[in-house]
Every structure is written in structure tokens, then in C-alpha cells.
Structure 1
Amino acid sequence: MKISEEQVWNTCGYVRLSREDGDKEESNSVTGQKDLIRDYMARHPELRACGMKVDDGFTGSNFDRPAFQELMAEVKAGKINCIVVKDLSRFGRDHLGVGEYLEQLFPFLGVRFIAINDHYDSLHSNAESDELVIPFKNLINEAYCRDTSIKTRSQLEIKRQRGDFIGSFAVFGYRKDPENRHRLLADDYAAGVVRDVFRWKLEGVSAGDIAARLTASGIPTPMDYKRSQGLRYSTSFRLKEESVWDAGMVLRILKNPVYIGVLEQGRVTTPSYRVKRLVVKPRAEWAVVEHCHEAIIDRYDFETVQKVLALDTRTSVSGRAVELFSGLVFCGECGGAMIRKTVSSGKKKYVYYVCAAHKNEKTCFAHSLRVEALDEIVLEALKKHIQDVIDLSNLLELTDTAQLQQAGVRKLRDRLEKKQAEADRWQTLLRSLYESLQDGVIDRDEYQDLRKTYSRRRAGAEEQAGAIQEEMSREMGNLSEGRGWMGQFRKHRNIDALDRTMIVSLMERVLIFRDRRVEIVYRWQDEFSWQMDLLRQARETLPGREAV
């Protein structure tokens, strides 16, 4: 289409601002751009003002912007045939995209394009200079966008690594500190709801039933609660106009380590500054920082809930809670799960735990144990173990901590020396490999294979030595910090009946053998055995003390 200089142009101004591109609000503010464009149009009477399109907060690295799309729709409809912008960077920072519009699409549609500060007007363009200058400016604009994106990503990563919260909205249960928006403070009301959710889960209530309880109690969902606080919050999880709790919301709360003071950030990213598609990063690349803010859930309770969520927790007949031992009872003979089986005898019903492998495949022994008998055995065993833990705790309090540390450190030092000797041995073998190659003892393929093997084993030994050194450092610290688990048993010192919370908090699994013997694997069982050995070694070295 031929463009005439005498015609009147239906002109639309276009304004864009994005801090993501590094735009300076002082010089590129929406108001400033509008004033500049209106002043220019007032000095050029052939430009008939037909509106102003504004994209505030949209990047220039692509053209997926609502106001820009509206502008192009009016251009294609023939309503607009002239576009005015402050400069080329306001139009876009993708040099290929901008070039396609300026060199192909706009000339084809007969659209006049004006970039005021770049002194570019397609009606009066100089073909020779514009072919060099305009693409060069577009390249600079794109490079600026790319560099700004890199700097922004780096700054955000630094904030994540030092434990700054960089989300737009605080997680349900917290609020942003008014004096430091990168720090979370507990929200009393929401934190109470979160504590209820965890408590109910420990009691064996399913996520769906927890959601039903919250809805029935009139507790607002996380989205509705944020909105009630005056926040402009939206979420992709909302499917209905009326927001109600569901199992997914409950599970997201139960699995979020933010409630024990841990921030997990940087879980998703974009391939580049031009591609905004979200990509999930490997867990090893997440920014995970502990002790960032006040914990509103006890760490032991959180870990217990994670264990419960991983169990096969079938609901009971009532539908309100799982069975007492659900997901925890296993066959001591084959290691498979033990399942509940109900047997009717007259008007009475008896419930047994039977080996699933025998019941389904006949690959194990036919043995069973009544639920009532299991309850009695576990209750008595748990009482005894709780008392053993309390006795151990009391003995540790009476024993010289320095002696305990020395005994533990000696044991670790011996392990460290062995690992260091092992790493030195692999290093010596690595050094001798080249000589063997030169002497013709091995060929090059053998050399490469052995070199990889020795290097891998040396690295493994060095890594294990490093782990032992870290353990030694912790051991040289306050030994009492490693006894926190004992308090979990002490809380149940006067039990007279079992409940679901107690079982999942203190036990890993229950094994039933064909001779009706029951073995319980307790949580922190390794720590219990280690502390007992450490105490025995320490007390044997103390004069005038009998060994425990």
C-alpha cells in the first residue's frame, strides 16, 4: 500500500513499562510517555489522535501483551494506520520481532510508525541509514533486556540463598513483616488453623475429612482469607466461584516445610528471558534455607506427618479416621504387609492381622494375630521402651558430658583415619597407573577404565571422610542437642491406652512372626542404641563408676 504524506493519519500512542526490563520509572513512567506522545501529536496536525494503549508491567522481550494485541486488532481492522511510541525499546526489545513489524508487517498494512526519541519515522525513513541504525538499536535494546534479566535472576537467587522470602504473598499461616517484606511472621488466626490441620492428621483424620471439618466450621480458605485481609490474591487452584476447602488444599499445607521455619524457593524457572514457560527445576537446585522464620509446627510432628502421608492409611468403617496400626504392621517372616481380616463366629466378629503374601499367594506361613492381642502386646512393650528412654535420659544427665564427647569423638576419629587411609590408597594407585601404562603393563583402554574406577572410589572415600568430620564437629558441640527425640517419649510416660498419634509418632513399624512374637521398630532406635553404647563406654572410663 502506498503511503501519502498529505493524508490524515488515524494515530494511536503506545506506552509500555516493565521493571523486569530494568525500566527506570522516573524517565519511562506511563504518565511521562503519554505526555511526550501527546505533545508530539499536538505539534503534528496530520496525526489524528485515536486513543492510547498502555501495557503497564509487561516485558518487552515478547509481544504477548494485552494492550498491544488490542492495538494490532484495530490496525488490522483498518481503524489505526499510525503508531507513535516514545522510543523503540517501548515498542519491544526482541530485535527479530521488532524488525519483522517495522520491515514487513507495517509496510504491508500501510502503517506509519514513529519512535520519537530515536528520531525514526517510517514516512521519512532513510533506507540506507535505517537498515544499519535501526537494527543496531534493536540489538542494543534486546541485549539490555537480556543483561537486566540475568542481573535480576542473580539478585533473586542471592536473596533466596540467604533466606529472604521473595513471594508476592505470604504462605497461609504467616504474614509479611511490615518492617521487612522479605521476612515472615506468624499470623495468629491462620497459624491456629494450620496447627489444627496437623493435629487432626496425626489423629488419623483423612485430608478429605479435614477439609470437610474446615468448611463446616466456616474457616475461610487460604485464598479467601488473603482477600479478607485486603490482598489482591488469585490462584489457579480455584475451580468454583464459591471457595471451599478440599483435600488438595489440606495436603499442600501438610507437605509444606515452611511451617517448621524452612524456606524452599526457586523450584521453577523459565528457559530464558524471552520464553516465559515455567520449568520445574531438580530438587538439588532449589534454594533451601532453614531457621528463616518462626516455626508454627514442631519439627517432630511435621516429620511424623510426612511419614503418615507415605503410609498406606486406609480409612476405617466410619470414614472419619484410619485404623490404629494402619500402614505399620508387617510380617516378620517375609517382610510383606499384614492386612486386617474380619471373621464372623455366630453373632460375634473377630478382627485379625494376617500375612497378605499367604492370603493372596500362599508364599508365606499361615499366621495371624487378633487385633486385641496386638493392642495389649504393643501397649506393654511401648510402656517399657518409654521407661528405658527416660532412664537413659536421666543417666545421661548424671554423666559428665565431656566424657561422653571424648568417647564419641574417639570412635569417630578411628573411622576418619580409616577413610583417609583408604582415600590415600586409591590416590597412590592412581599415580601408579600412568607408570603401568608407560611400561606396557596395561593398555590405554585398561588405563581409562581403571582410572575412572580409582577416581570414583577415591572420591567416595573422601566424601565419606568429610561426612565423618562434620559428625565430629557436631559431636564436639552440645551433645544435649541430640537428645531432643527423648522428649517425644517422655510426653507419653503415663500412658494407659494407645492412640493413633502416639503410634505414628513413636514407631516405625510393627513386625508379627509366626510364633506370635511381636517386634517393634521404634523411631530413633539407632540413636537410642548409639547413646546407650556411648554411655557405657564413657562410664567404663570413669573411676569409681560401675558400667551400665
Structure 2
Amino acid sequence: MQNTQNKIWNATLYLRLSRDDGDKEESNSITGQRELLRDYISQRPEFREYAVRVDDGFSGSTFERPSFQKMIEDVKAGRTDCIIVKDLSRFGRNYLDAGEYIEKIFPFLGVRFIAVNDNYDSLGDKKASDDLIIPFKNLINEAYCRDISVKIRSQLEIKRKNGQFLGSFAAFGYLKDEQNKNKLVVDQYAADIVRDIFKWKLEGVSPQDIADALNKLGVLSPMEYKRSLGMKFTTSFKTNSKALWSAGTVIRVLKNPIYTGVLIQGKETTPSYKVHKRVTKDESEWTVIEDSHEAIISKIDFDSVQKVLKCDTRRSPGGKAVGLFSGMIFCGDCGASMVRKTVPAGEKKYVYYVCSAHKQDKSCSPHRIRDNALEEIVLDSLKQHISEVVDMSELLTITDTAPLRTAQAQKVQRQLDKKHEEYEKLQKLLMSLYENLTDGIIDREEYTRLKASFTARADEAEKQMDALRGQLEDIHNHGTENAWMNEFIKRQGLTALDRAVVVALIDKILIHSNDVVEIIYRWQDEFAWQLDILRSARLQEVV
């Protein structure tokens, strides 16, 4: 370093406080650090305060901090040549990077570095012990940072599993409870907007048209609404001075399961306390808590909208909504989608549905059917099915099906137990295979063959166990609620079809040859299950 006698140092006072590392003591506060450092330079005439750089709320495990980077820019530009911190932990808790700055970068740039409480001054007579003490303190600081990181991760995981909301901002439609920031409460104004968005989508309105309607009505977008409430909300999306509703914003609302009362957290993580780049976790590792808060949208309506988003296709020219059966009609023979085709006939126009495979390369027969004929068939069938569901609901209210449900649950549980025993046996066989190989009981070829066989059987057993668990859950759900029935019952007296009704009640429509139409209703398995229960109950009454 150059001759420093009588030199006036342009000192930058660097202050840091992290929300993560537990620095809550007053001595470690930003105010406390500032007072300490100013008192230090006030007693030493060789220092002139150039700037105070503050990183409040930034971890010491990374040097990607805004004020720190600004300070380094000042150093490179020659505006400051001395950096003073309270102690080494305020400078940073990353052993390698801290050492790189203190031992290499600062000496090379002619920068004096002072850690007041650690009695370290790079300009002073360097003691041999400094070669050990400074790296050792940096190691301690890094270990502290690692320990805090582990504790924080553990605490956050516990909170997530307890259904506590950990986000900075609540989703549009909710607010953080004033008494408990980890609890979500419904924001009635925004919730009504969310309900309208779902309602319009079920009616067949496109996301872009929904966005246009909201903007025309002067409804604030989620970002602008948060700002209107005084929240300091920022986003990674590029926006104009005033953010408007867009198709993308509408779709994000429609796809967010939070509106059904489910809280999904822990989707992302950081590889370690040193690496702050966020990576997406596998969906199986997400923390999912059902009924965490009040729902705005029913699960049935939410599922219907997800189905609509998948099956909605292009609108007819000049149309504001997708077609009545768009994305829901398929050829009953080849499975290809059916497409609309308009055929002029004099002054009239007729609309048909035709197998897309036939239209494309004639690989299938046309399976042609007029749209008005299909609408009539679907309406008549739907009215009949609604009537059957209503009758079933009435029978269930006067029939004691509990004993049958209990017996069925016990039967499924026995099957599950037996399958679990089979799975455990296969796992033990897999574990013993390697020992048999190393002991010379079987050769490598036989080991590979047996391992593949046992693994396949174990995987199949696991799938069957999942299916049986699903059956048990269905038995329980069927016994406690039949919300799906209400979707049909509330549409008694139906006289015409619309997109909302079709999407809500029909899974898909198959057009077979000879004008045969097969309608697959939603909850068809549940309907068959309840019908079987009622028949069994009636038989027992007769006996």
C-alpha cells in the first residue's frame, strides 16, 4: 500500500442487518452500528466520512447486496479508499468471499479495511496471528450463518405444515388477518371479482374478453389494487405505469387453487445458505394444507374451470365465446376430436360436426351430425339424467346405507392389508437379492432378471394400494357428502343448454357411427356406486 503518512481517508461506513441471522440486539441495529462507527472516526482526524452504505434485511451469506455493490463501485471509481465496519460479521458471513475481499481485493485496490470491534485494521502492523485469527473469525461467521439457515428452514417448514401463510402478500381476493399475519381472511370486494371471473369463464367467455370487461368496468388489477391499499408491491413482470388486467392475469387467477381453501407452499427452495438462486421443487415435496382458510370458489367449480381451460379451443369467427361443445366432442371410433363445419345451402347455412381424422386424410368415416340435432339429443339426455339423480337423492334420504358402507369399507381394508403384505414381502426380496449376488448364490444375469421382476411387481402392488386407498376415501366421502348431486339437482327444470351447464355436468361426448351419441357425465363412477349401494340396500330390505 502507498505511503499513508498524513493521508486523509475517504471512509465509507458499511452497515448491515439481516432479518434471518437473529441480529435483534440493539447493539447490532442499524442505528447502533452507525453511532459506533461515527464515534470511531470522530476521534481520528485522518478519516473523512464519504458515505454510509446500509443493507438492511440482507443476509451475510451473499455479497449480492445493493449497497455493498454500490460501495464496491465507489472503490473502483476511486471515490472511497477506506471501508469501516462494526465487526467482520457485518461485512459478511461467507468465509471464502470475505477472505477474498480482505486479503486480496482490498490490498490490491489500496483500500484500508477496519473492523472496529475485532480490533482489525489492515493498515496497522500486521501480526502473524492475523493470518490465523481473521480467517478463523470468518469461518465462525460462516458456521453461524449455516446454523441459522438450518434453523430458519426448520421453523418455516413447521409453520407451513401448520397451515400458516408465509407469503409477503396475500393472493387477490384475500388479505392477511390484522391480528395474525399468517392467516388469510376473505377480502369481500376482491373476492366478488374473483367469483365473477370464474362465473364468466364457466359461461364460455375467453380470458382476454374477461380482462377487457374488467378494464372497461374500471376494476383495478391485482397489482394496482394492492398499491391502492398502500402495499409496497413489486413484480418481475414488465408493466406500464398503470397495470391493467390481461389474459395472463385472468388465467393466473383461474388456475390458483388457493381460492378453494387449499394452501400450497414450499414450491421453491435455495440449494444452500450460500446459493440464493431459487429452484422449483418437485410437486411431491410441496406442502399442501386443505381447508386452511375460507374458500371463495367451490372445488367443483374450480375443477370445472380447469377442465374448461384444457378443452377450450378457438372461438367461431366474430364470436365472443367458445362453442357450446368446444373441446368436448370426440369420434367414438378413432378418438379424434370432432370439428365444426359450416355448409351453405341456398340462403341457409347448416353447421355439422365432423371427425377431424376424416377431414384431414379420410382415415376415418365422417361421423357427421348436425349441431342442432346434437343439442337436442344432449338436452333430452341431460334432463333424464338430472331426473335420475334427483330420484337417487330422495331415495338416499330414506334408505339406511350406513351398514353397507361399513361392510364395504371393511372389505376394501382387508384387500389393502393383503396387498401391503405382498408389497413388504417384495421389498424384502429385493433387499436380499444383492446379498445373494455377493454371496455367489445367484449370478449377475439372474440378479438383473429377478430385480426387474420384483421391482415391476412391487410397483404394481403400490399402484393397487393407491387405488384401494382411493376407494376407502370414496366410501368415506360418499357417506358424508354428495356435493356432486347438487350440481345436477340445482338444474332441475332445465330448458336449454349453455356452455356453463355443458362444462359443469358433462365430461365428454362420443359420436359413433349410425348417429349413435354416447354422453359421459361427470361423476359417473359416483353415480354407479350410489346406485349399487341403493340396490344392495333394497335387496336386504326384501330379504
Report the TM-score range of the alignment, normalised by the length of the smaller protein: over 0.9
Distance in 2 between the 1:497 and 1:530 partners? 29
Distance in 2 between the 1:16 and 1:285 partners? 34
Which residue identity does 2:523 align to in structure 1? W
- 1:177 is matched with 177
- 1:449 is matched with 449
Distance in 2 between the 1:244 and 1:200 partners? 18
1:428 offset after TM fit, Å?
Answer: 9.2
Distance in 1 between the 2:329 and 2:54 partners? 64
1:470 offset after TM fit, Å?
Answer: 6.6
Distance in 1 between the 2:282 and 2:232 partners? 31
- 2:64 is matched with 64
Q: 1:14 to 1:424 in 2, by over 3 A?
A: closer
The Cα offsets for residues 97-145 of structure 1, whole Å up to 9 and x where unpaired, read as 2212211222222221110100101111434111000000011111111
The Cα offsets for residues 324-369 of structure 1, whole Å up to 9 and x where unpaired, read as 1111111112111111000001110000011111111111113311
Distance in 1 between the 2:406 and 2:503 partners? 35
Distance in 2 between the 1:24 and 1:278 partners? 26
Report runs of 4+ in structure 1 exceeding 4 Å deviation: 420-442
- 1:505 is matched with 504
Distance in 1 between the 2:111 and 2:3 partners? 8
- 2:534 is matched with 535
1:319 has 2:319 as partner: yes
The Cα offsets for residues 437-496 of structure 1, whole Å up to 9 and x where unpaired, read as 899985343134314522552464256346535744763x57442422111110111101
- 1:483 is matched with 482
Q: Does the Cα contact within 8 Å between 2:354 and 2:369 map onto a contact in 1? A: yes
- Map 1:36-47 onto structure 2 (within 5 A): 36-47=36-47
- 2:337 is matched with 337
Q: 1:158 to 1:425 in 2, by over 3 A?
A: closer
Q: 1:167 to 1:435 in 2, by over 3 A?
A: closer
- 1:233 is matched with 233
Question: Secondary structure at the residue paired with 1:387?
Answer: helix
Question: Secondary structure at the residue paired with 2:274?
Answer: coil
Q: 1:130 to 1:195 in 2, by over 3 A?
A: same
Which residue identity does 2:213 align to in structure 1? R
Farther off after superposition, 185-194 or 404-413: 404-413
1:417 offset after TM fit, Å?
Answer: 6.3
Count of residue pairs brought into register by the alignment: 543
Instruction: Compute the RMSD of aligned alpha carbons.
Output: 2.5
- Map 1:83-232 onto structure 2 (within 5 A): 83-232=83-232
Q: Does the Cα contact within 8 Å between 2:405 and 2:479 map onto a contact in 1? A: no
Question: Secondary structure at the residue paired with 1:542?
Answer: helix
Distance in 2 between the 1:282 and 1:212 partners? 35
Distance in 2 between the 1:52 and 1:486 partners? 67
Q: 1:238 to 1:172 in 2, by over 3 A?
A: farther
Q: 1:420 to 1:287 in 2, by over 3 A?
A: closer
Question: Secondary structure at the residue paired with 2:123?
Answer: helix
Q: TM-score, normalised by structure 1?
A: 0.93
- 1:388 is matched with 388
Q: Does the Cα contact within 8 Å between 1:267 and 1:283 map onto a contact in 2? A: yes
Q: Does the Cα contact within 8 Å between 2:401 and 2:533 map onto a contact in 1? A: no
1:492 has 2:491 as partner: yes
Distance in 2 between the 1:332 and 1:258 partners? 37
1:50 has 2:50 as partner: yes
Which residue identity does 1:481 align to in structure 2? T
Which residue identity does 2:517 align to in structure 1? V
Q: 1:432 to 1:126 in 2, by over 3 A?
A: closer
Q: Does the Cα contact within 8 Å between 1:146 and 1:273 map onto a contact in 2? A: yes
Which residue identity does 2:505 align to in structure 1? L
Question: Secondary structure at the residue paired with 1:230?
Answer: coil
Question: Secondary structure at the residue paired with 1:446?
Answer: helix
Structure 2, unaligned runs of 5 or more: none
Q: Does the Cα contact within 8 Å between 2:358 and 2:365 map onto a contact in 1? A: yes
- 2:17 is matched with 17
Distance in 1 between the 2:371 and 2:294 partners? 41
Question: Secondary structure at the residue paired with 1:340?
Answer: strand
Structure 1, unaligned runs of 5 or more: none
Q: Does the Cα contact within 8 Å between 1:404 and 1:535 map onto a contact in 2? A: no
Distance in 2 between the 1:124 and 1:431 partners? 64
Q: 1:267 to 1:430 in 2, by over 3 A?
A: closer
Percent identity over paired residues: 55
- 2:265 is matched with 265
Q: TM-score, normalised by structure 2?
A: 0.94
- 2:521 is matched with 522
The Cα offsets for residues 65-94 of structure 1, whole Å up to 9 and x where unpaired, read as 222222222222333222211001111112
Q: Does the Cα contact within 8 Å between 1:408 and 1:534 map onto a contact in 2? A: no
Distance in 2 between the 1:370 and 1:15 partners? 75
Distance in 1 between the 2:430 and 2:94 partners? 52
